[in-house]
Structure 1
Amino acid sequence: MKNINFLKISILLYILNFIQTYATEKKTVDRKLIIFKNDTLKSNKKSHSKIVFAIDPPIIKAHGNQLYCPQNSINIVTGITISHDPSETGTQAVYIQISSGYSNGFDKLELSNPSLHPSITTSWDVTAGKLKLSSPTGIDVSYSNFEYAIRDVVFSNSSATASGTKTFSITLGQANYLPSNGHFYQFVPNVGITWSNAKAAAESSTYYGLKGYLATITAADEAKLSGEQASGAGWIGGSDAETENVWKWVTGPESLANNGTGTVFWNGLSNGTTPNFAFWNNNEPNQLGDEDYAHITAPGIGIPGSWNDLSNTGSLNPGDNYEPKGYIVEYGGMPGESPLEIAASTQITIPEATITSPKPICDLGTITLNAASNAGTINWYDAAVGGNLLGTGNTYTTPTINTTTTYYADAGCEINRKAVVAIVNKTPDTPTVYSPVYRCGAGTVTLQAASNMGVINWFTTSTGGTSVYTGNNFTTPDISANTTYYTEASDSGCTSNRTPVNIIVYTPPVVSDEEIILCENQTVMLDAKLSGMFYKWSTGETTQTISVSASGNYTVEVTSPNPENCSSIKNITVFEYKKPIIKNIIVKNTTITINLTNPTDYFEYSVDGVNYQTSNTFYDVAGGLQTAYVKAKDNLCNINEATQSFIVLVFPPFFTPNNDTYNDFWEVTGMENYPEAEVTIFDQYGKLLIQLRGSKLSWDGTFNKTPLPASDYWYALKIDNTKPVFRGHFSLKR
């Protein structure tokens, strides 16, 4: 009987041990029918080879969303419970991972007071950011002991500048758990596996009843957990095999989108468009050859956890960085699946103030400071460490201050206080100027202003408006009337009062240039023609009028008395009219030309002393003794008039000796003025007919008192031995 009871007890212990050993393994998602086999739950039609148990998987609940200050330690949970089937009281390992916000080298998870937990050993994976709590003996540790241990797991960060939020995943399975989507991730080592084989292997695996698939990475925290924090490089579910350069997720739930065509996450070559999240390595995808499949890069290649594109086989060189090392399996999200509760999460937030820089004030006043916290309440202090609590809330209004003062916003960690500078700027002194500024006549004016600080701006209005110039010295545009400009000094947003600068425009003396005639050997008076002024002649004289006796250019600076004190320059050009000097008078029959030794265009000529002309040639001048007159135009300088007598000899071209009292004699008019003159007359054969001289100065057309026939006759006039003989001919008509 005892043997039978012992056998029954042994069989029962064996069954319970089997249940405890595999209770943490893969289970059906409806949590009613559990089939166990080699850490992976799979459906198996050969039910006779499986042991079926109606055991619910454990459910873990964790609490502890807390604030954390860097360089301290904090428990990752404030409460933890693991509910389990009465027939399954423990498991061999629990995994706690920093699943988001992990900072490698600074963040750390560890079990405090390890001596209080002799049944548990720990292992920290710095790459994955994962702490393993496990049995040191291979015998299951009770869930209650794991609860106590998890309560003693602490987080620490060694960086004084740490920031952000850290999420802790606590899972009863080995796969990485991502709280943001409730999915599990597992890197499966398999050197040299092809992408297509990895896809098939992933889809044939399960995790506590969840169907696996090559990971589809759609968010940054997912990329970090499945890539950077995974234990190796491997295939993921992206491909552009269908359409080159159009990358889709072709596995998992994303493959079912768009009528089963997949979800596009990249459309274009390197640096192309990203319709959804993508995390390509530098210059990837580069489409070298037939690279149609996405792969997480090997550690140390480019951006940690990023992707590159490879062919289906990847590199075939053993040990090469592009040789496939395995694949990433993702569990969760497939149609009909309910989320597992074998994982829980908590998080800590490092309080941090976000500062809005306040607008500076001028001279003195109050300033309202603004800050926001990612968690907790803002406290305001007057020191970076310690100090006095000044106020609480997102805003703080300072007391009246007249100097720049620094305040500190504390979001919950003294080490993270943010300085907020309340800037008090000084208003520059009102500019000093030179005013009024005088100007003579239209033109520009250079205005000057100075202040103790800042820049000088110039305006056309006493208030408002836009600055027309910046600088101490402002040259205005041309102005012709009284004008006022305004200047102010500005520094760091503080502006002084405006100072007017008056510009007074005076009208200079109105003068006109002149041209004046100076007669030879005389003097002429030059007159500025404005009285009551100050005068400065180019000759050095300072009177309104001066007397000059030489031609030339003379100037006089005419200056009005104060306050105008404006000057104008009058130019006076003096032209000297010289006395005309007659060189000769050329008489050609009745055409007379008067030649001067000093001809100029201001002389005019006459042969009767009454009628003058600018030409020196006269026609049809009467015969006889005449007088030539030369003087300056417009009756100027008449005392310098020149005269000279001349004789015009008129040789009649014909005569008619018929006693009708008209042209009965041929005689030379003007010859009476030459007592020594002699005229000899010849016929056409050269026969001397008569000589006229003295008192006999005319010929009646006879030879020896005999009338000569009508014909042409020749003459020769000799006035004296100093003048040439005049020769010609005339006609006798009957």
Structure 2
Amino acid sequence: MKLKKQLLLVLLFAQSYFYAQTFNVAPILTASGNQIYCPLTSMKIVTDMTIVDPDNTGIDAIYIQISSGYTIGTDVLTLTGTHPTISSSWNPTLGKLTLSGITSQPTYTALIAAIKDVEFSNSSPNPSGFRTFSITVGEANYLPSNGHYYQYISNIGVSWTSAKALAELSQYYGLQGYLATITSVEEKQLSGEQAAGAGWIGGSDQETEGVWKWMSGPEAGTNFSYTFWNNGEPNNLGAEDYAHITSPGVGILGSWNDLSNTGEASGNYQPKGYIVEYGGTPGDPILQISTSSTITIPSITSTTPASNCDSASMTLQATTNIGTINWYTNPSGGTPIHTGTSFTTPVLTTTTTYYVDSFPSGCTSGTRTAITATINQVPTVTLNPVTPICEGTTASITASTNFGTISWFDSITSTSPIATGPTFVTPNLSSNTTYYAQANNNGCLSPRVSVLVSVNQIPVVNDETIEICENDTLILNAGITGLSYLWSTGETTQSIVYNGSNNYSVVITNSSNCSKTKNFTIIEYAEPIIQEVLVEESTATLIMTQAGDYEFSIDGVNYQDSNVFTIQQGGLYIAYAKEKHGCGLDTQSFVVISIPLFFTPNGDGINDNWIIKGLTHYPNAKVAIFDRYGKLIIQLTATKFFWDGTYFGQQLISDDYWFTLKIDDTTPEVKGHFSMIR
């Protein structure tokens, strides 16, 4: 029902408006006066104003609004002069001044006179930009840059779909209305920041979530090309598919948020109305019910300072948004020393600051912009003496300058420094080397100053590795005469006697106090001494008294690295141990005998006799065989070196038997036992 009543009221209004327009010609407003503003002054917004209306002599009100560039808090429109039939009302939120009659409808003549006396002022000492003033006969906000009108309609709780329908039923002096589409910063400021309250605008992402489109007016169906969302918006909480200008005091003034079609029932997110935009619809009449004027506040938009070394004349440059640039020597007061975008200074010996503005003649206030012509002094470099260094070490070079920073170079012509700062530590040097220091004071370079690093040679020595035999006598010699020596033993002579250590070193120092260390590595080879030859059955192992680099033999001809020999034939052998580097030879005799562990005297021709192999090589050898009770059974000699298992012609039983073996008087007796198996 509420929507039907609203639509009925709109239809009745549209019908009455149609009849009024049929018999009433809209007035034509024309203003002139695009001017330049002096800061902290008041300036009339027009230089001339006309209103042409063939069928009326007056109108209820004229609305003057700062429609572009408005700065709330500092910009003010004020009616000056004496106007007995006109009253004025300034709305700082809208940036709008309303001129209306005091007791009755004012005449156009009175309104024109009042418009000519409306003045603009700004309380900032250094304002910037421009201001556009729209002058119109209707209450809708007029934006001269696109010729459109914007009207806030209060309607608590209205839905987005109802607001869209109501907006499209609205007309303004014959212009078709639609829910506002905001596509520029100027539109955003006039319809949002300078509007009467929060309300719907014509955007929605209902078709595709996150893809916002304008759904009304000439932009219907097009994606947003400009947005002014509040912080954290759009957030799509609860199917929020429709764009809404945020309530004042919530986030950024005039910014947008997304709401559901109905919004909330109360509070900041309850719809309070909607914004209707007029203009741009095909078939709209061409109206002249509004006009505009502008003022521009001169400002310096850029400056180009200059610098030079020592004394020089320099060219400074500046640009402005309007007017002619004036050059001064002081930040305020005085007369210009030059006009134009560039200024060539006289020859300067010190840094000098100049000041520019583009205010017209007669402006007594406003901030000038400083531009500096900088004179940088060419620096000087002082190098500290460098002590000669020894070959293979580094040098630390220091320098100072009266201005700037120091860079170091490895040649007089190189362009890339190898180090920066007052101190430079060279790499390890092997010969005399020249370096160069240069100071840089903001691009002003000193001459390069050279410094020679003298490099003294160190003694030429080579490490030695010496091989000796155990108990040899050795003299270690530093190898260079006439210098200073310090051995690792503490001795200071050129030569010392080897005392048995493996490693020695000597620091050799020349007359330039440059030193080099010579290292001696002594490799002493141990003398070979055979401690014993360990014989186990057919294996002989040579046991040495100490470890060494030895090779071994049991025939004196064929040598091997292993000290273990396998001997197939029993007998007397000589073991040889030789040091591989010629540091001695040792020998030792040893006996290898092969004593069987059992025999089988059964007449089959296999192991029928117990024979000690190799016994024939020892004519003095004696073997005694005993039974388990110690009874002597038989004695064997070199001529009788086997036993057939009998005792005085009688066969003995299978059993274990014992033996003793004596090779000769110089060898120990060997004892053991064996088995007879029948």
Relative to the length of structure 1, the TM-score reads 0.67
Query: 1:280 matched to which residue of 2?
Result: 229
What is the identity, as a one-letter code, of the residue corresponding to 2:256? W
Contact preservation (8 Å) 1:518, 1:550:
no
Which one has the largest radius of gyration? 1
What is the identity, as a one-letter code, of the residue corresponding to 1:421? T
1:230 matched to 2:188 = no
Rate the CA distance shift 1:568–1:183 in 2: closer, same or farther, 3 A.
same
Rate the CA distance shift 1:428–1:518 in 2: closer, same or farther, 3 A.
farther
Q: Structure 2: 5+ residue runs without aligned partners?
A: 1-11, 535-539, 554-558, 568-574, 592-615, 627-631, 640-658, 672-678
Question: What SS is found at the alignment partner of 2:212?
Answer: strand
Contact preservation (8 Å) 2:305, 2:317:
yes
Question: What SS is found at the alignment partner of 1:118?
Answer: coil
Q: State how far apart, in whole Å, the 2-side matches of 1:80 and 1:395 are.
A: 39
Query: 1:61 matched to which residue of 2?
Result: 30
Q: State how far apart, in whole Å, the 1-side matches of 2:623 and 2:228 are.
A: 137
1:160 matched to 2:107 = no
Rate the CA distance shift 1:151–1:526 in 2: closer, same or farther, 3 A.
same
Q: State how far apart, in whole Å, the 2-side matches of 1:491 and 1:40 are.
A: 81
Rate the CA distance shift 1:40–1:395 in 2: closer, same or farther, 3 A.
farther
Query: 2:477 matched to which residue of 1?
Result: 527
Q: State how far apart, in whole Å, the 2-side matches of 1:172 and 1:511 are.
A: 108
Relative to the length of structure 2, the TM-score reads 0.72
Q: Structure 1: 5+ residue runs without aligned partners?
A: 1-36, 45-49, 255-261, 267-275, 587-591, 607-611, 620-627, 649-667, 672-677, 691-698, 700-713, 728-734
Contact preservation (8 Å) 1:165, 1:349:
yes
Q: State how far apart, in whole Å, the 2-side matches of 1:287 and 1:686 are.
A: 122
Contact preservation (8 Å) 1:41, 1:209:
no
Task: Report deviation, 1:93.
Answer: 1.7
What is the identity, as a one-letter code, of the residue corresponding to 1:332? G
What is the identity, as a one-letter code, of the residue corresponding to 1:64? G
Task: Report deviation, 1:82.
Answer: 2.2
Task: Report deviation, 1:149.
Answer: 1.5
| Residues 389-416 of structure 1: CA deviation (Å, up to 9, x unaligned) | 3322222233344444332221216422
Task: Report deviation, 1:334.
Answer: 2.0
Query: 1:22 matched to which residue of 2?
Result: none
Q: Match for 1:82 among 38, 42, 51?
A: 51
Contact preservation (8 Å) 1:362, 1:494:
yes
Rate the CA distance shift 1:524–1:63 in 2: closer, same or farther, 3 A.
same
1:506-521 correspondence runs (5 A) = 506=457, 508-515=459-466
1:186-225 correspondence runs (5 A) = 186-225=151-190
Instruction: State the number of aligned residues.
Output: 604
Query: 1:351 matched to which residue of 2?
Result: 298
What is the identity, as a one-letter code, of the residue corresponding to 1:344? T
What is the identity, as a one-letter code, of the residue corresponding to 1:180? S
1:137 matched to 2:86 = no
Q: State how far apart, in whole Å, the 1-side matches of 2:622 and 2:281 are.
A: 155
1:421 matched to 2:372 = yes
Q: State how far apart, in whole Å, the 2-side matches of 1:642 and 1:221 are.
A: 114
| Residues 35-61 of structure 1: CA deviation (Å, up to 9, x unaligned) | xx97997435xxxxx7954x6432222
Task: Report deviation, 1:156.
Answer: 0.8
Question: What SS is found at the alignment partner of 2:291?
Answer: strand
Contact preservation (8 Å) 1:449, 1:456:
no
Task: Report deviation, 1:154.
Answer: 0.7
Contact preservation (8 Å) 1:436, 1:502:
no
Query: 1:324 matched to which residue of 2?
Result: 271
Q: Match for 1:303 among 247, 252, 261?
A: 252
Contact preservation (8 Å) 2:396, 2:424:
yes
Contact preservation (8 Å) 2:351, 2:374:
yes
Contact preservation (8 Å) 2:623, 2:662:
no
Task: Report deviation, 1:181.
Answer: 0.8
Task: Report deviation, 1:200.
Answer: 3.3
Contact preservation (8 Å) 1:215, 1:251:
yes
Query: 2:241 matched to which residue of 1?
Result: 292
> Percent of counterpart pairs with the same letter?
47
Q: State how far apart, in whole Å, the 1-side matches of 2:158 and 2:96 are.
A: 26
Task: Report deviation, 1:358.
Answer: 2.9
Question: What SS is found at the alignment partner of 1:265?
Answer: coil
What is the identity, as a one-letter code, of the residue corresponding to 2:398? A
Question: What SS is found at the alignment partner of 2:18?
Answer: coil
Q: State how far apart, in whole Å, the 2-side matches of 1:293 and 1:593 are.
A: 105
What is the identity, as a one-letter code, of the residue corresponding to 1:419? A
Q: State how far apart, in whole Å, the 2-side matches of 1:595 and 1:263 are.
A: 107
Question: What SS is found at the alignment partner of 1:191?
Answer: coil
Q: State how far apart, in whole Å, the 1-side matches of 2:495 and 2:252 are.
A: 97
| Bigger shift: residues 471-480 or 394-403 | 471-480
Rate the CA distance shift 1:725–1:516 in 2: closer, same or farther, 3 A.
closer
Q: State how far apart, in whole Å, the 1-side matches of 2:443 and 2:158 are.
A: 67
What is the identity, as a one-letter code, of the residue corresponding to 1:103? T
Q: Match for 1:314 among 250, 256, 263?
A: 263
Rate the CA distance shift 1:594–1:168 in 2: closer, same or farther, 3 A.
closer
1:92 matched to 2:57 = no
Contact preservation (8 Å) 1:410, 1:417:
yes
Q: State how far apart, in whole Å, the 2-side matches of 1:321 and 1:679 are.
A: 130
Question: What SS is found at the alignment partner of 2:228?
Answer: coil
